[in-house]
Amino acid sequence: MFTSTFIFEAKPYDDEFHRLNDEIAERARAIPGFLGEESWTNDESGLHSEVYYWDSREALQQLIGMDTHREAKRLHERWIGAYRIVIGEVIGTYGQPGLGLEHVPAGGDAAETRRRPLRT
């Protein structure tokens, strides 16, 4: 399993941001291999984080190659300050099943773990 995490300073959003963001999210969810997503905001720092989960690197590459993703990237300075992108390969997950993303595999063979809830 792979993750793509986008951490950024949010600026004010406009209608164009919401249109692109909604389209990217909808199309990402339709990519075979998309497993789920989470988002976080740190009110103290003002940082926002979007995490997408993928069953393969190829699925992640489809998001990166998406035309609307490239358009948003080209216009990002309108809505986003400093940012960082982290691509990770998940080697295990721990914690309580039922705490969101139950469909995300818990290590091991992806086909096997896809049938189990999130757990170690």
Averaged pLDDT for residues 9-32: 92
pLDDT in tens, 47-96: 999 999 999 999 999 988 888 888 988 988 999 999 999 999 998 887 87
The sign of the dihedral angle between the CA atoms of 74, 80, 83, 86 is negative
What fold, for 2-89?
Alpha-Beta Plaits (3.30.70)
What is the length of the chain?
120
* Model pTM score: 0.75
| Distance from chain centroid for Cα 54 | 8
